[in-house]
Structure 1
Amino acid sequence: MLNIPRITILSAFLAIAAVAPAAAEEPGLWSVYNDSLKGAKYVDLTHTITPNIPVWAGFASPTFGQSSAARDLEGFAKKGDTFSYETHGVAASTYNLTTDQLGTQLDPPAHWAPEYPAIDELPATYAVRPLAVINIEEKVKADAGYHLQVADITDFEARHGRIPEGSVVFVRSGWSKTWPDPALATTRPFPGVGLEALKFLHLERKILFHGHEPLDTDTTPTLEGEHWLMHNGYAQAEGVANLDKVPETGALVAIGYPKFGGGVGGYARYVAICPPDWQYGVAIGSIPEAPLQKFDKPLHFDEQAGMRVR
């Protein structure tokens, strides 16, 4: 047995410890996830697209169907076969989406202004942002056509502090509480966001974009607010849901959307990431995720509903 002085062993250990990374140190942003996001509450701010949702009067409603084989697939399916769980062990759907302005949306500026980005040209930096929610619901109860004003923004800031630069601002009006009643699409008046409020948010507070519950920005004949946004290179969210389930400040919003080439509208998914002690939402680990939940009732195509249901 080697007779190595204890002081030599201790010195060697300390030398190794000085150059080796700490075992508990987490690489990159993993600590952000573990410290902040893993215990957060998650609230979906997105309407489900179905054949019967409210649609702007200028567009037809979508239709759903079942996919069929486009050609013979030896040993699997014949041309024209409708794919089914029973026969093929797999199902697939078709969607006739009559417009890219359905449900909860992210409008890129190319929706109105072709010189600005389409949906696939929006930067990846849109992914996660601070979220501020301005509540005008009480004013809308008194006036169904009320539009967000600059005074509403400054009142909000008097209570909560300045809206962060680069944040997303959603306007809570209560309009979507009767969704998916198709009558919403043609009900007038409806709450909106005033042009001066939009200019203040973008030019003074330099937000990323704003969002609202209705399917239009405002009720002016020329949609002046949306026109100004798009022709100045700004995006916006429409058809946002569940704003009564998120805090006015302190949350983040995760932003996702399909990347259609040259798309001038966008089906979007917004998820609010709220503090752990928030009263609404679900936390990671509180619901089945991997594997996901198994339902008692299987999914099947319902001809009357025009879609797959349980």
Structure 2
Amino acid sequence: MKTLSSCIVFIIWLLGVGCSQSTNFPAGQWIDLSYDLSAQTITWPTSEPFRLDTVAAGRTEKGYYYSAFNFCGSEHGGTHLDAPIHFAENRRTVDQIPLSQLIGPAVKIDISGRVAANRDYQITVRDLLDWEAQHGRIPDSSIVLLYTEFGKYWPDPTKYLGTDKRGAAGVAALHFPGLAPAAAIWLIQNRRIKAVGIDTASIDFGQSQNYGSHVALMEQNIPAFENVANLDQVPAVGAQVIALPLKIKGGSGGPLRMIAFITESPAK
């Protein structure tokens, strides 16, 4: 209940901060956890790249400047959300995910050291338990963020994905770390989490054949956030995350504007 109350206070402050210059909200820092969408945005090898087409850009005959664009791209390109229906029949679509599941306290589990020696590393239950031994039990209603340090490779597809090939050949050549299905199942069965995010192209590692972590999480209506940016700036505990996707009716995913708020420690 304490965590829920904190989130409610946080949201109320967000709604009211634009209406008043004075606030008792604690000092802190906003972190943008989303990559911008552009021609350089990394997408899944079988997905369409992002495209921005100019409708108008310039001075009108009446003298004022006017610009407008059309955009086109995959649900699952750049920083994005995987809705449960992406890998689980009859589960929630993007527009059906409750806002409360997309906002909350975050924990960051750093496995960058293990990944450095193995691009195909899968985060294990032992990794989760080791994190808890140092930081305490993953709190109920947490958003779990998995930090591999792969963000340093963005937007180079060869370094980030392990390949710059497209189509089926590109999928076969993917090499990046992810969450082991056994660890996903452990989180579901032992911790009450809202969502899982990662700074790679997929919750499952690149060479996955059956996407077991996706299936396990999404059967339980737990969404995933992929290609999360700037996780190096997020602490292990203490951040509040807001992850809002485009509200695509019936969508299996969508581009995500994801941010974190980190409260500054009071001066001693």
CA deviations 1:227-286 (Å, max 9, x no partner) are 2222332211111111111110011111211111111111111111102259xxxxxxxx
1:92 aligns with 2:68: yes
CA deviations 1:77-129 (Å, max 9, x no partner) are xxxxxx223225210111121x2011111111111223011101111213420
Which of 264, 273, 278 is the matching residue for 2:261? 273
Which of 214, 238, 245 is the matching residue for 1:250? 238
Normalising by structure 2, what TM-score?
A: 0.81
In the superposition, relative to structure 1, how do residues 277 and 202 fare at CA in structure 2: closer, same or farther (>3 Å)?
Answer: same
In the superposition, relative to structure 1, how do residues 29 and 234 fare at CA in structure 2: closer, same or farther (>3 Å)?
Answer: closer
CA deviations 1:140-191 (Å, max 9, x no partner) are 1121211111111111111111111111010000112110113233434211
Unpaired segments ≥5 residues, structure 1: 1-27, 68-82, 279-310
1:120 aligns with 2:120: no
**Equivalent-residue separation in structure 2 for 1:264 and 1:101 (angstroms):** 9
Q: CA deviation at 1:133?
A: 0.2
- Aligned to 1:117, the other structure's residue is in SS state coil
Match of 1:185 in 2: 161
- Aligned to 1:159, the other structure's residue is in SS state helix
CA deviations 1:35-94 (Å, max 9, x no partner) are 335x21111111111112221111121221112xxxxxxxxxxxxxxx223225210111
* Rg comparison, structure with higher value: 1
What letter is aligned with 2:179? V
1:202 aligns with 2:188: yes
- Aligned to 1:90, the other structure's residue is in SS state strand
**Equivalent-residue separation in structure 2 for 1:138 and 1:206 (angstroms):** 27
In the superposition, relative to structure 1, how do residues 147 and 36 fare at CA in structure 2: closer, same or farther (>3 Å)?
Answer: farther
**Equivalent-residue separation in structure 2 for 1:102 and 1:91 (angstroms):** 25
- Aligned to 1:57, the other structure's residue is in SS state coil
What letter is aligned with 1:86? R
What are the within-5 Å matches in structure 2 for residues 163-174 of structure 1? 163-174=138-149
Alpha-carbon contact 2:162-2:176 (below 8 Å) kept? no
**Equivalent-residue separation in structure 1 for 2:13 and 2:53 (angstroms):** 41
1:134 aligns with 2:122: no
What letter is aligned with 2:115? V
What are the within-5 Å matches in structure 2 for residues 68-107 of structure 1? 83-87=56-60, 89-97=65-73, 99-107=74-82
**Equivalent-residue separation in structure 2 for 1:120 and 1:56 (angstroms):** 22
When the two structures are aligned, how many residues end up with a matched partner?
235
CA deviations 1:10-54 (Å, max 9, x no partner) are xxxxxxxxxxxxxxxxxx9559973335x2111111111111222
Normalising by structure 1, what TM-score?
A: 0.71
Which of 22, 40, 43 is the matching residue for 2:28? 40
Match of 1:239 in 2: 227
Q: Which has more strand, going by share of residues? A: 2
Q: CA deviation at 1:217?
A: 2.0
Identical amino acids, percent of aligned pairs = 29
Match of 1:261 in 2: 249
Match of 1:58 in 2: 46
- Aligned to 1:84, the other structure's residue is in SS state strand
What are the within-5 Å matches in structure 2 for residues 128-167 of structure 1? 128-167=103-142
1:176 aligns with 2:165: no
Unpaired segments ≥5 residues, structure 2: 1-10, 18-22, 164-173
